[in-house]
Structure 1
């Protein structure tokens, strides 16, 4: 278990800073459009990252966390054939090329709503951070371009994708890590006409059971999972155990919150409701071997505020990992 990051390097100096901070494992972002990610292109990118003493452990598939009208490749989640089959073929090819290039894992989202938030709020020292207050969310908001999308429709689209892609991942020994829906919503009514089936612990259990493969698992966003719970400070440890004991956690977004289901604010890693040291102990208990990384952090004052906030979080994570070492 080690500290990692998915913060996109703006230039080579950022890679140097990662290495200087002891962040030697990353999710990186190859240059060019996904159609250009040949085995040769990905190999050159991996070698470039490694030249800074950093391991390229993940890259993203072109299924991101954007709202569907802003998605570059929307048809998989819209359920539109034959367009979705062409997008699936692209993803199959990326997975094959990752294997040839020595990149062991990919992350992805399967979402229509993207990340849903209400107005940002103040946190420690006047920093600004994301919040979601369901009671303050727009009531009767407009539907997405997907229209009314119930649980059966969502699961059909998810299953259609998995049945065609997970075998390719297995054949090429590339782990596929899905991010949960952020945040969860009441079910079955959902939000904007969409049932967020991957926004509950039960939904994530159903997801991993859809296709039995050691290469099918989760980008376990601990922050998002705590947002699903009525009592995050007590419930999160058993959720980690459930997925960790089944070896379904391929990456961890190590984030804290204050609040509960439908009513929360994101915090710094050290001042939310969840005992993050006990979380590290629990990951260790289940034998989790991969990255703990911040997904995002509160917006701080001053220059280079994003890198400062991430740097603080890297150090805190490293301290927690070291404090639980044998």
Structure 2
């Protein structure tokens, strides 16, 4: 496994964090649309600038971000709007082809309508602010611009996308890693008129079975997956085993929570409910060899850009990796 990051691909920043043991990166988004920054030459320059710092460029994000549909780069894909969605999927496919030609082996993306849904933050260790979600406190109004979005309709839109993109990824040998919906919502109720079909383990199982292919898998956000569970510490190992043995985990957001489905808050890796040593052993046991990285961190007063919080997470993950190394 590799210690990874996704926060900033500026060489000055990478030179600052490389001494922490970080060896691989998912870059920041090259551009919100297919333009010169997505050209093969530009992607090659990105790769060269990153790797000049000693950190390997392993992944780039597609402009399918975890934002609400009203701010999405390509809203037509999930709104089912033709001919805009045909043009959008053509552009996404061209980005994947260009990544292959630039020597970039994987991309990540979202199929998000609601974005990352949270309620008011709560105070955690040492006064840090923890991102929190309580379904009972969530504001259902106004409804999403995509509402009503039933599970069946959402699956139709996702399947339409995968039918066109997975063959291109497979042909060009670029892994495409989708992030789960964050967080999962009650089946049949949803949130703001939208069913979050990638917000349950069963939904993720269905997702990876559509257009089954070695290049179609998950940006496995452990934090988001644990948010789907009633007993995260007990259940997460089996979920890692299911997707890991099927080689569907392409990247890991290694994040911890306190709480459970519909009532949780994001913590530091060492003070959540999930035993992270057991979790990293689960990845080892299924033969996972990709990146482990933090994605969200608690907010510490005075910690501009989360640099201190991220440094703590990098060090904690590196220490866990070292335990595995010494275990053989």
Q: After TM superposition, which residue ranges in structure 1, 4 or more long, deviate above 6 angstroms?
A: none
2:118 maps to 117
Contact 2:29 2:62 in 1 (8 A): no
Q: Kindly tell me: are residues 31 and 270 of structure 1, through their superposed partners in 2, closer, same or farther at Cα, counting changes over 3 Å?
A: same
| C-alpha distance in 1 between matches for 2:211 and 2:104 | 22
| C-alpha distance in 1 between matches for 2:30 and 2:232 | 38
Q: Kindly tell me: are residues 31 and 114 of structure 1, through their superposed partners in 2, closer, same or farther at Cα, counting changes over 3 Å?
A: closer
Structure 1 position 17, deviation (Å): 1.3
Structure 2 unaligned runs (5+)?
none
Structure 1 position 32, deviation (Å): 4.4
Secondary structure of the residue aligned to 1:4 is strand
2:40 maps to 39
| C-alpha distance in 1 between matches for 2:154 and 2:14 | 38
Structure 1 position 20, deviation (Å): 1.7
| C-alpha distance in 2 between matches for 1:160 and 1:102 | 27
Q: What is the TM-score normalised by the length of structure 2?
A: 0.97
| C-alpha distance in 1 between matches for 2:99 and 2:110 | 18
| C-alpha distance in 2 between matches for 1:233 and 1:175 | 29
Deviations 1:16-54 (A, max 9, x none): 012121111000025445312111110111011010011
2:268 maps to 268
Correspondence list, 1:213-232, <5 A:
213-232=213-232
| C-alpha distance in 2 between matches for 1:34 and 1:244 | 32
Contact 2:2 2:291 in 1 (8 A): yes
Contact 2:300 2:306 in 1 (8 A): yes
Secondary structure of the residue aligned to 2:219 is strand
Correspondence list, 1:1-326, <5 A:
1-9=1-9, 11-29=10-28, 31-36=30-35, 37-138=38-139, 140-304=140-304, 306-325=306-325, 326=328
| C-alpha distance in 2 between matches for 1:236 and 1:255 | 12
| C-alpha distance in 2 between matches for 1:283 and 1:214 | 18
Deviations 1:113-160 (A, max 9, x none): 01100001111100012000111112x422211120101100000000
Contact 2:254 2:292 in 1 (8 A): yes
Deviations 1:68-94 (A, max 9, x none): 001121110111111011110110000
Structure 1 position 299, deviation (Å): 0.7
Secondary structure of the residue aligned to 1:280 is helix
Contact 1:4 1:26 in 2 (8 A): yes
Structure 1 unaligned runs (5+)?
none
Deviations 1:272-321 (A, max 9, x none): 00000000000000000100000110011224351111111001001001
Contact 1:18 1:24 in 2 (8 A): no
| C-alpha distance in 2 between matches for 1:118 and 1:26 | 30
Contact 1:30 1:45 in 2 (8 A): no
| C-alpha distance in 2 between matches for 1:261 and 1:33 | 32
Secondary structure of the residue aligned to 1:220 is strand
Q: Kindly tell me: are residues 212 and 133 of structure 1, through their superposed partners in 2, closer, same or farther at Cα, counting changes over 3 Å?
A: same
| C-alpha distance in 2 between matches for 1:8 and 1:268 | 20
| C-alpha distance in 1 between matches for 2:294 and 2:60 | 16
RMSD: 1.1
Q: Kindly tell me: are residues 323 and 211 of structure 1, through their superposed partners in 2, closer, same or farther at Cα, counting changes over 3 Å?
A: same
| C-alpha distance in 2 between matches for 1:85 and 1:60 | 20
